[in-house]
Homo-oligomer: A and B are copies of this chain.
Amino acid sequence: MIVAMQESATEEQIQRVIEHLVGMGFSVHRSTGARQTVVAAVGARVDFDIRNLEVLSGVQEVHRISAPYKLAGKTFRPQGTVIEFPNGVKIGGEEVIVMAGPCSVESREQLFTVAEQVAKAGARALRGGAFKPRSSPYSFQGLGLDALKLLREAGSRYGLLVISEVMEISQIAPMMEFVDILQVGARNMQNFNLLRELGKVKKPVLLKRGIAATLEELLLSAEYIMAGGNYEVMLCERGIRTFETYTRNTLDISAIPIIHKLSHLPIASDPSHGTGRRDKVAPMARASLAAGADALLIEVHHDPDKALSDGAQSLYPQQFSDLMDQLRMIAPAVGRKIA
List residues of A whose CB falls within 8 A of some B CB: 2, 4, 6-8, 20, 27, 29, 31, 33-36, 38, 40, 42, 45-47, 49, 51-52, 54-55, 60-61, 63, 65-66, 68, 75, 78, 133-139, 167-169, 187, 190-193, 196, 210-212, 214-217, 220-221, 223-224, 227-228, 240-247, 250-258, 261, 274-280, 283-284, 286-292, 305, 309-313, 326-327, 329-330, 332-334
Chain B residues with CB under 8 A of A240? 242-244, 250
Interchain CB contact under 8 A, B42 and A278: no
Is A250 a contact partner of B242 (Cβ separation < 8 A)? yes
A40 touches B46 (CB 8 A): no
| A188 → B minimal CB distance (Å) | 8
Instruction: Please give, as numbers and ranges, the residues of chain B lying within 8 Å of A245 by CB-CB distance.
Output: 214, 245
- Contact call B52/A65, Cβ cutoff below 8 A: no
Complex interface: chain B residues within 8 A of A283 (CB) = 253-254, 256-257, 290-292
Residue pair B65, A61 in contact (C-beta under 8 Å): yes
Given contacts A42-B33, A215-B246, A250-B242, contact A192 B329 (CB under 8 A): no
- The complex places the Cα of A47 from the Cα of B47 at a distance, in Å, of 34
* Distance in angstroms between the alpha carbons of A279 and B310 in the assembled complex: 36
What is the chain B residue whose CB lies nearest that of A327?
Answer: B333
Complex CA distance for A211 and B38, rounded to whole angstroms? 34
Q: In the complex where A34-B42, A333-B286 touch, is A227 in contact with B55 (Cβ < 8 A)?
A: no
Cβ-neighbour of A137 out of B7, B224, B330 (below 8 A): B224
A279: chain B residues at CB < 8 Å are 55, 257, 261
Instruction: List chain B residues, Cβ under 8 A from A217.
Output: 135
Q: Which of B38, B187, B261 contacts A40 (CB 8 A)?
A: B38
What CA separation (Å) do A52 and B60 show in the bound complex? 24
**CB within 8 Å for A4 and B241 given contacts A31-B29, A253-B287:** no
Residues of chain B contacted by A135 (CB below 8 angstroms): 190, 192, 217, 220-221
| Residues of the B chain whose Cβ atoms lie less than 8 Å from the Cβ of A65 | 2, 4, 36, 38, 60-61
Q: How far is the CB of A258 from chain B (nearest CB, A)?
A: 5
Q: Which of A65, A217, A253, A258 has the most CB of B within 10 A?
A: A253
Which residue of chain B lies nearest to A136 when distances are taken between CB atoms in the complex? B47
**Contact at A55–B2, with CB atoms within 8 Å?**
no
Q: Are B31 and A305 in contact (CB under 8 A)?
A: no
The 6 closest A-B pairs by CB, nearest first: A212-B212, A51-B312, A133-B192, A329-B333, A287-B287, A286-B290
Which of the listed residues A35, A46, A284, A286 has the most CB atoms from chain B within 10 Å of its own CB? A286
On whether the beta carbons of B247 and A250 are closer than 8 Å, the reply is: no
Cβ contact within 8 Å between A46 and B138: yes
